[in-house]
Amino acid sequence: MTTARNHPAPQLGELEQQVMNLLWDSSPRSVRDVMDVLPSNPAYTTIATVMQNLKTKHMVRSERKGRFVHYLPQLSREEYVARQMHQALDSSQDKAASILHFVQDMPEEGLQMLRNYLEQS
C-alpha cells in the first residue's frame, strides 16, 4: 500500500496552486479551459508550461481527447494536504509537541471529528 510518506508533496508555486485548485474543483480541463477561468489572463504558453511542470511533479496526468489535451489531478486535494502534513511532522524535532500544538489550535468541529475517528478505531 502506498502511503503519504512514500511520496513527498512537491512545493507548488502560486500559479501552480491556482491551477491545481481549478483541477480539483472541476476536471478534466484543457490549457484553454484553465486560461479562460484564471483572472490574471495568463498566456497559453504560460499555462502549458505550468501543466508540464505539474506533470513533472506527478500532480497531474494528461489525456488526449480528439485534438485537445486535458489534464486531471493525479491525487486528491486531501491526499496532497496529508502529504504536506506528513512532511511538516517529519521535519519536527519533537513530533509529540508538534501534534499537541496542532490539536490545541483546532476548531471544535475538527476536534469532534478527531474524537469520532479515534472512537471508531
The answer to whether residues 99 and 58 belong to one domain is no
Structural domain count of the chain: 2
Return phi, psi of residue 63, to 5°. Answer: -135, 135
The whole domain housing 117 covers 94-121
The answer to whether residues 59 and 26 belong to one domain is yes
The answer to whether residues 67 and 19 belong to one domain is yes
The answer to whether 59 and 12 have CB atoms below 8 angstroms apart is yes
Return phi, psi of residue 64, to 5°. Answer: -90, 130
Per-residue pLDDT reduced to its tens digit, 64-73:
989 999 999 9
Per-residue pLDDT reduced to its tens digit, 35-90:
999 999 999 999 999 999 999 999 999 999 899 999 999 999 999 999 999 998 99
